[in-house]
Amino acid sequence: MKFNQDDIKHKRSHQNFSLISAQKDATDFNSLLDYLNNYQHELKSAITNYGAIVIRGYQVETPEQFQQVGLSLFPNLQNQYPGGAPRQKVAEYVWTASELPSYLPISGHTELSYSPSDKPTHILFFCPQVAASGGETPVIDMKSVFSDLPARLKHRCSQTCLAIKLFWVSTQKRLFDVRLWKWPWFRSPKPWQAVFNTEDRDVVETKCHNAGRQVEFEWLTNGDLIASYSMPIISPHPTTKEMVWTGWFPRFHIWGCCIEAWFVSKYQGKFRSWLVFFILFLITFVQICLEKLIPGCRKYRVLDVTFEDGSSLSVWDVYHIVKSYWQNSELLSWQEGDILILDNYRMGHGRLPFTGKRRVYTAFA
C-alpha cells in the first residue's frame, strides 16, 4: 500500500483537514494497522502540515481497535483524563467523547485549553455509530481565529491573559448554573476527587504546583474547592513556534453557551435548536439577575472567566470569538468507522446537536 498525494483529498481551499481513504481491496482492520506502521512519518507530517487528518473506509468497530490505532501512532496515550468534562472510560486509553445530552451544542475549543500543563498535544476521535441527523464535529483552525477578530479585541488579547475560575464540588449535588443545564433539571458537576483522582487536598495542590500551574486554592468549609489561575490567550505552537489562539472555551463565559446555541440555530434552522437557544437565554438571564440580587453569588459559578486585570469580557467579545470559530471551521459529517486525529494546539473541535443515537470515543496523546 503506497502513501501519496492521491490518498489525501482536501475538502476546502484552506485545507482544514486531510481525508485519507482506504483502498477498495484493503479495508480490513489489519490493513489499516499495516498502513499506519509503514507510513507513520508521512501521516505525522500530514497532521503537522494540515492540523488534522480523517481516516475513512476501514473496518474499525470497537473502542479496543481504536485504541490500537492510537497506540500505533502515539505510544504515549494518556490513561487518565484530568479535566472536568463528563466522560465514561471504556478502555485503558479510551473515553466517551461527551456525556452531554444530544440537544446541547458543545462550543469550539482545544482540549484542556484551560490547563496548559495538562493539555494533550493530539486528540483522537472515533465514530462507530453516526447520528440520524446532525452531530457534526466542527474542525476549527486556531491559527486563523485570532486574525479574524476585531482589531480592538485582537489588541486586548495580545496584551493580557485570561483569569480562569473553576468551582469543584466535594460531593455530588446539583447546582444552578446555565452550563450545567440538563432537562428537566441541572446536573451535578464532576467532584474534585474525580478530577484529581485523590481524596487528599495536599495532593491536589502538589499536583498543580508540580505541573507548573500557579493556582490559588480556596477550600470552603463544606469541602468544595475554588481554583483560580491565569492562562494565555495566544501562545507559540510547541513544534512550529507559530503564534496560535490557545482554543479558549467560550462556555467559561456566562453567555458562551447561549451565543453558541444562536449560531447553531441559524445553521440548523430547526425548531428544537431555536427552543434550546431561547431556554438557554432565559436561564442565563435569570442567573445573572439572581447574581445581582444576591451579593457574592457569582463566586459559586461552576466556571468563570475575566481578563487578568479583573475586567470583564463583554457579551460582544464572546460573540466575536464564537463567530470567528464558525468562520474558521469545517464541519465533519461522520461516517461509521471514521477516525479523526487533531493537532490539539492548532485545531479545535466541538459538537453540533443531533437526533438518534450517536457514539463517538476519544483518546489523548
pLDDT at 12 over 80: no
Give the residue with greater pLDDT, 148 vs 185: 148
Q: What confidence tier does 114 reach under pLDDT thresholds 50, 70, 90? A: confident
pLDDT at 10 over 80: no
Weakest mean pLDDT among 43-57, 265-279, 313-327: 43-57
Residue 255 domain-assigned (yes or no):
no
285 shares its domain with 233: yes
Residue 55 domain-assigned (yes or no):
yes
**Mean of the per-residue pLDDT values of the chain:** 90
Number of domains in the chain: 2
124 shares its domain with 221: no
Residue 237 domain-assigned (yes or no):
yes
184 shares its domain with 52: no
Name the nearest CA neighbour of 332 among 122, 13, 17, 67.
Answer: 17
pLDDT at 346 over 70: yes
Distance CA 309, CA 243 (A): 22
232 shares its domain with 85: no
- Segment 143-164 mean pLDDT: 93
Spacing of C-alpha 337 from chain mean position: 21
For residues 16-40, b (16+ Cβ closer than 10 Å) or e, as one string? bbbbbebeeeebebebbeebbeebe
Residue 164 domain-assigned (yes or no):
yes
Residue 229 domain-assigned (yes or no):
yes
Strands 234-236, 243-245: parallel, antiparallel or unpaired by DSSP?
A: antiparallel
pLDDT at 279 over 50: yes
Only one residue has cell 461522520, namely 334
Residue 285 domain-assigned (yes or no):
yes
Summarize pLDDT for 214-232 with one digit per residue, the tens: 789 999 999 999 999 998 9
Question: Which CATH number characterizes residue 38's domain?
Answer: 3.60.130.10
120 shares its domain with 238: no
pLDDT of residue 182: 82
Residue 257 domain-assigned (yes or no):
no
Percent of the chain that is helix, strand, coil (3-state, to 5)? 35, 25, 40
pLDDT at 11 over 50: no
126 shares its domain with 226: no
Confidence (pTM):
0.91
pLDDT of residue 27: 87
Residue 67 domain-assigned (yes or no):
yes
- Collect all residues with Cβ–Cβ distance below 8 Å to 38 and sequence separation of at least 6: 1, 3
**Of all residues in the chain, what percent carry a pLDDT higher than 90?**
70
134 shares its domain with 60: yes
pLDDT of residue 98: 92
pLDDT of residue 296: 87
Weakest mean pLDDT among 11-15, 289-293, 328-332: 11-15
Is the distance from CB of 125 to CB of 362 less than 8 angstroms? yes
Weakest mean pLDDT among 19-28, 212-221, 319-328: 19-28
Distance CA 20, CA 24 (A): 13
138 shares its domain with 172: no
**Domain extent at residue 46:** 5-143+325-364
Q: Which DSSP letter does residue 65 get?
A: H
Summarize pLDDT for 184-218 with one digit per residue, the tens: 788 888 899 988 889 999 999 988 877 667 789 99
* Cell triple for 227: 481554583
Weakest mean pLDDT among 32-46, 181-195, 260-274: 181-195
174 shares its domain with 68: no
The one-letter amino acid code at 218 reads E
Q: What confidence tier does 282 reach under pLDDT thresholds 50, 70, 90? A: very high
- Segment 309-332 mean pLDDT: 95
123 shares its domain with 54: yes
173 shares its domain with 307: yes
345 shares its domain with 286: no
Summarize pLDDT for 158-172 with one digit per residue, the tens: 999 999 999 999 987
Q: Which DSSP letter does residue 92 get?
A: T
Q: Considering just the CA atoms, what is the radius of gyration of the chain in Å?
A: 20
